[in-house]
Chain A
Amino acid sequence: MEVGLNHFLFVSVCLFSLGIFGIVTRKNAVMVLMGIELILNSANINFVAFAKYGNFGYQGQIVALFVIILAAAEAAIALAIVLNIYKTFSTVNVDEIDTMKD
């Protein structure tokens, strides 16, 4: 079977679902961040795939570049927040940080 748009979109769907799975099942906050990175990558594959198959010129690739930049900023901020959470609660398990629940 000739590789076409659907094949790339299928890889993207797999990455997206696995990222969601990682976010909802893992306890460690860093693992949740890894799930977010998987989702951002799947969105990027979509952008680049439609840039090739969608007759939009290079706009998809430009947006993919912007997404990569935002992912870098997001990872830095999120890691700083996780470090602060670790200093405050000495754990990074997202199910144990429920101080506001009381």
Chain B
Amino acid sequence: MNKIRFFYILIFLLFLNPKTSFGLIEVDITRGNLNPLPIAVSPLFVEIKSIKAFQNLLKKKNVGEDIATVVEKNLKSSGLFNPLKKEAFLQKPDIAHLKPRFEDWSLIKAQALITGEVKFENEKLRVEFRLWDVLAGKEMMALAFTTVPENWRRVGHIITDKVYQRLTGEKGYFDTRIIYVSEEGPKTNRVKKLAIMDQDGFNTKYLTLGNELVLTPRFNPTNQMVTYLSYFKNLPRVYLLDIETGVQEVVGDFPGMTFAPRFSPDGKKIIMSFAKDGNSDIYTMDLENRIVEKITNHPSIDTSPSFSPDGKYICFNSDRSGYQQIYVMKSDGSKVKRISFGKGLYGTPVWSPRGDLIAFTKLHKGKFYIGVMRVDGSGERLLTENYYQEAPSWSPNGRVLIFYRETKSDSEGRGFSAKLWSIDLTGYNERLVDTETDASDPSWSSLLSE
């Protein structure tokens, strides 16, 4: 159905005079995009008085150009768009924003155009932007909003989200953050810290000092809290951290290691593993009334639990068959069903925010894969193969996975690195995600501006 529509539009644009056509641009995100849409992001216009105000405040020569660069970089990273070089632009930003001369933009092969204006008003940054369909010669969207000037990068992310949504029909994932573990030092004694950054690698902040080992941080649905594993005082336990206040607390009072934590979709519970006497089972703890419930009860290892977005089911990792496989059960622990049956070992299942897929790590014949399958285990698709990679985390719109990848090292540990990578659900558009240090265990936030 989708494919047919795509062809129809393509033909439509090719054979009709663009100016008289009624079909506006659409970007199909359900397949690998081999022809990214050529888009021109005109620098946002800033009048002279505002330029000076922003220069004083932000130490930026031209914040309008910088915001446009953020948008361009975002669009490019999606793999769906091809932002055109600014040197080729014929029209000045202010004039283009009023009324683009579409012939000028189609001359440089732009199919879509973003224009805008930034103003310094009442100590705030006010931005107004428009999205134009160059071939149809029409405005597709116009929006304005106001924020504190320090938020100028977020302005770029929000613009990208709006443009992405208008052109693909699905929500964006650009005004988001990644929490991850920053790694430094020799392989035998890595120093690990919790770190948080914007989705594009900017504004990195470190949330712990590296005095104790920390692993597997995950956001709550409102992105204010993080649950993670800390070896504080050499007692590996699941912790809760309030990002704003920095307050940390142990989750529950377990007489042994708790690990592999995640929030329930309503944010009210933490689900995790508790290991005792060589056996790991899955537990939940209600954060309000502190009630602990045992969800699995099996002498095998049960770990890596992840709720379905409606909270009714849990997928998890268990070796009850003899080897690591993926299972699904109801959230009360009943109706346990194995869903992975392919060759190899399966781990780290994570339920997609759209509810229809489970992402996983697979180990087969010495190679590691990131893949997805339907929640009944059918339709397994491997997206990427490598020497070592694991721990996928979904973008909030369920279109992109972020994970970490490690490289081989020699006997002295030379050659070792751990980096974050992202890949499209289609299996295309694999990209290194910039981080200040080596990095692992990424977890994607939900959209911040909702």
Q: Do chains A and B stick together as partners?
A: no
Mark B residues whose CB is within 8 Å of A: none
